[in-house]
A = this chain, B = another copy of it.
Amino acid sequence: MAVDHIPTGIPGVDNILAEKGIPRGHTILVSGGPGSGKTTFAMQFLHTGATQHNESGVYVTLDEEPSDIRRNMLKYGWDLKKLEDEKKLVFINISPVRVAPSETAGLIQIGMKEFRLIKLLEAIKQGVKEVDAKRVVVDPVTIFTLQYPDEVERIYAMRDLMRELRKTRCTNLLISELRGTGWEREHQFEEYLAQGVILLRTFLKGSRLVRVFQVEKMRGLAIDNQPRPYEISDKGIEVYPGATVYK
């Protein structure tokens, strides 16, 4: 019953996570604004797993095309195609609407009704099986939750997703889109349901915007919950665990 942890491999992050990493099998929410590096963070997690820890990964994309992600990640020197060929990474592309726009009007409705929890879970499970994955990313989970306009239904759907992900025994990152931009935002219900919450935000410090990394929550781990600066360079994301955000 001892807790096992898997290192994220992202510079600075495991230091913050009690020098350990994410508790194995947990589902972590990674929430950030546009341009905050959410996809980079998630792919860095899978790439490190595949190249340094021999753990395969599943990348479920609900928005960007896999070809775009492959190309964009080249700037970090990550050759995803190679990982896919080696069965260390698999893309699951389940963006709900795929039909030609000239037929869209009616089909959007159908697509929306069919695109549901079951379909999402079946796709994930198939991906996990295909590469014997230990790590899963769903990017973004926001478009999934928006399908449930009733708040209670939305909470139940997210709970079910998390419970089923748990059965895969993988460690999972759910990417989420932040709406509010200030410190005094409202908490979102997903933050309560997830076993861990990582925030990627941007705040104004005098004349400069500073990128701010924060582990808001990580069940089962004594974490550093302080806001820490991070940067996105040509090696991906790097967090500075000893630095403070404001002087």
Q: Which residues of A contact B (CB under 8 A)?
A: 1-3, 33-35, 63-64, 68, 70-72, 74-75, 95-97, 101-102, 104-105, 108, 111-112, 116-118, 121, 140, 142-143, 146-147, 149, 151-153, 155-157, 159-160, 163-164, 177-187, 189, 191-195, 197, 202, 204, 206-209, 214-222, 225-227, 232-234, 244-247
Picked from B97, B117, B189, the residue with its CB within 8 Å of the CB of A156 is B97
Question: Which residue in B3, B68, B101, B218 is a CB contact (below 8 Å) of A117?
Answer: B101
Using known A-B contacts A34-B192, A74-B1, A185-B181, determine if residue A96 contacts B156 with beta carbons closer than 8 Å: yes
Q: Chain B residues with Cβ under 8 A from A34's Cβ?
A: 187, 191-192, 194, 197, 216-217
Q: Which residues of B contact A71 (CB under 8 A)?
A: 1, 3, 220
26 residue pairs A–B, Cβ–Cβ below 8 Å:
A2-B74, A34-B191, A35-B197, A35-B218, A63-B193, A64-B219, A68-B195, A72-B220, A75-B222, A95-B159, A96-B156, A97-B156, A97-B159, A101-B121, A101-B164, A104-B117, A104-B118, A105-B116, A105-B117, A108-B157, A112-B152, A147-B152, A179-B187, A181-B183, A181-B185, A207-B246
Instruction: For A187, give its contact among B121, B178, B234, B245 (CB under 8 Å).
Output: B178
Chain B residues with CB under 8 A of A234:
222
